[in-house]
Structure 1
Amino acid sequence: MLALMAAWELAAPRRRQEIPRLLRWSNNLALVALDALCVRLVFPVAAVGLAAVAQQNGWGLLNVVALPGWVAVVIAVLVFDFAIYLQHVLFHAVPALWRLHRVHHADLEFDVTTGLRFHPVEILLSMGIKMGLVMALGPPAVAVLLFEVLLNASAMFNHSNIRLPHAVDAALRLVVVTPDMHRVHHSVRPSETNSNFGFNVPWWDRLLGTYRAQPQGGHEGMTLGIEQFRTTRDLWLDRMLAQPLRGRAGGYAINRERKGERDGG
């Protein structure tokens, strides 16, 4: 998926990129490798493996309710997707969690590698939340595997710097989060940053009032990132790892915007 979206970005880019890919991609992908290493070291079993153990031992709601296998899979995928939506909102609402999550938002460009750029502590917290949900829900292991594949593939798709015809984008965003829809979430304006939280499906944003169709400045004219970290030096791996400890939490945490910051001023 990474190779596919990278090739698509080169063939039909949505926005012109000013920062060399070598600088951003080398550091973003180094962060991905570090994230994967941390997960392997901290968690002895992945979420899919834990789901298999839960099934064997009858743990979780779906293991005590008699449902056809395909129904359990659909329910589990949707519940996990809604949980990730709520987790995403939480990481925007709590200043301490926003310090971690802003590493993702501080990328000054928006492309397929942005979808993989997360601080290792956020990755570990997210995995812990998924593990807890596996224990409580008891989903089929295949549902967890399917969700993980969808989550990673959709994150790379909807963070891609690709151009889709307007009609195609309008149709797709009825069922999946498109790049144009999610790019709004990476606007420098706090009112736009705190919208479009979904990763796989757009329904949670539409149902819960966090959907925003387009950025105020247009996709070509909008400024990406956050106000605090705007130098190319901030794109280096060491700065990304230290970023949660640097500066104030900022005006982006939900309901904590300072006057004048609501529109990125």
Structure 2
Amino acid sequence: MNAWWLAHAGPTRLLVVGALLLVLLLCQRAWPTRGETPARGRRWRNVGLAAVSTLLVYLILPLTAVTFAWQMTTRGIGLLAVVDMPAMLEFLAALVVLDLAIYWQHRWFHVIPQLWRIHRVHHSDLQFEVTLGLRFHPAEILLSMLYKFAVIAALGPSPVAVAVYEILLAAFALLTHADVAIPHAWDRQLRRVLVTPDWHRVHHSVYRDETDSNYGNILSLWDRLFHSRIEQPRDGHRGMQIGLTQFRAAPEQTLIALLQQPLADDLRLPSNQ
């Protein structure tokens, strides 16, 4: 099983992301929440940024998260290597702990000013729809990968668990940014456990307190547990403004400008204003 995932984790993740992206693009047209017409070239810029990020990270790092997990487990490194538990329980525990770790990574990218400069490339998009789930600066992807290596070394999850979590994380990045209307009754039940588009849309508000909330990536329970949740945007899902006030001009939305954006000054008001 580990050998199969070592050989096929990357292509499987790419296939899932590509297929889900196409499905969600169709769903957005059929059942939109906001129904905004994408700005010209916006989707291709987001896809292009994802391609640049992926290329640079794989040129810089010789290992993937799955390969690194295999190296750790073969050396008996990590907490799960010394804890005896059933295989399925260990697998589920790894998924939950990995998601908790990514919650805190996301939160630190908002709290630490130097990390926010990198992460705000994601938040500077002026529209909320599925390709926003691809819009991350290469520096963020690189730092995220190094952080995952540290978590994997400490935890010692199996390569299968890491591969499955990486696929789920990429899938939820698309699902939670999709402009797809989920019936309120369904959303109310789903968000008890999982992050939904309406739950995550609050996180992309222009208001600082709303931006600094709802950090969960897959499980919404972390925001409940660590008191970082806001259930609904103050201006409503259709009326709320998406993005950052600092980066709204068209020249600031080009691919080159997005790559250079971490160098710009941070003009955000403090979180209490």
Please indicate the TM-score interval, normalised by the length of the shorter structure.
Answer: over 0.9
Distance in structure 2 (CA, Å) of the matches to 1:229 and 1:218: 22
**Contact 2:77–2:156 (CA under 8 A) maintained in structure 1:** yes
User: What residue in structure 2 maps to residue 166 of structure 1?
Assistant: 184
User: What residue in structure 1 maps to residue 225 of structure 2?
Assistant: 207
Distance in structure 1 (CA, Å) of the matches to 2:266 and 2:27: 37
User: What residue in structure 2 maps to residue 237 of structure 1?
Assistant: 255
User: What residue in structure 1 maps to residue 27 of structure 2?
Assistant: 8
Distance in structure 2 (CA, Å) of the matches to 1:179 and 1:61: 34
The unaligned stretches of length 5 or more in structure 1 are none
Which letter maps to 2:263?
Answer: L
Which letter maps to 1:5?
Answer: L
Shift of 1:218: 0.2
Which letter maps to 2:78?
Answer: G
Choose the corresponding residue for 1:148, options 141, 152, 166: 166
Shift of 1:28: 0.5
Distance in structure 2 (CA, Å) of the matches to 1:89 and 1:115: 17
Q: What SS does the aligned partner of 1:72 have?
A: helix
User: What residue in structure 2 maps to residue 126 of structure 1?
Assistant: 144
The unaligned stretches of length 5 or more in structure 2 are 1-19
Which letter maps to 2:260?
Answer: A
Which letter maps to 2:225?
Answer: L
Percent pairwise identity: 45
Q: What SS does the aligned partner of 1:198 have?
A: coil
**Contact 2:48–2:255 (CA under 8 A) maintained in structure 1:** yes
Distance in structure 1 (CA, Å) of the matches to 2:176 and 2:52: 23
Shift of 1:18: 4.2
Which letter maps to 2:101?
Answer: A
Which letter maps to 2:191?
Answer: R
**Contact 2:69–2:159 (CA under 8 A) maintained in structure 1:** yes
Judging changes above 3 Å, is the alpha-carbon distance between structure 1 residues 119 and 249 closer, same or farther for their aligned structure 2 residues?
A: farther
Shift of 1:247: 2.5
Choose the corresponding residue for 1:17, options 22, 27, 36: 36
**Contact 1:181–1:213 (CA under 8 A) maintained in structure 2:** yes
User: What residue in structure 2 maps to residue 184 of structure 1?
Assistant: 202
Distance in structure 2 (CA, Å) of the matches to 1:150 and 1:18: 28
Mean Cα displacement is larger for which, 240-249 or 144-153?
240-249
1:66 and 2:66 aligned: no
Which letter maps to 1:126?
Answer: S
User: What residue in structure 2 maps to residue 105 of structure 1?
Assistant: 123
| Residue correspondence of structure 1 range 30-109 to structure 2 within 5 A | 30-109=48-127
Shift of 1:126: 0.4
TM-score (normalised: structure 2): 0.90
Shift of 1:23: 1.1
Distance in structure 2 (CA, Å) of the matches to 1:6 and 1:27: 16
Which letter maps to 1:139?
Answer: P
Shift of 1:69: 1.0
User: What residue in structure 2 maps to residue 198 of structure 1?
Assistant: 216
Distance in structure 2 (CA, Å) of the matches to 1:134 and 1:35: 22
Judging changes above 3 Å, is the alpha-carbon distance between structure 1 residues 44 and 162 closer, same or farther for their aligned structure 2 residues?
A: same
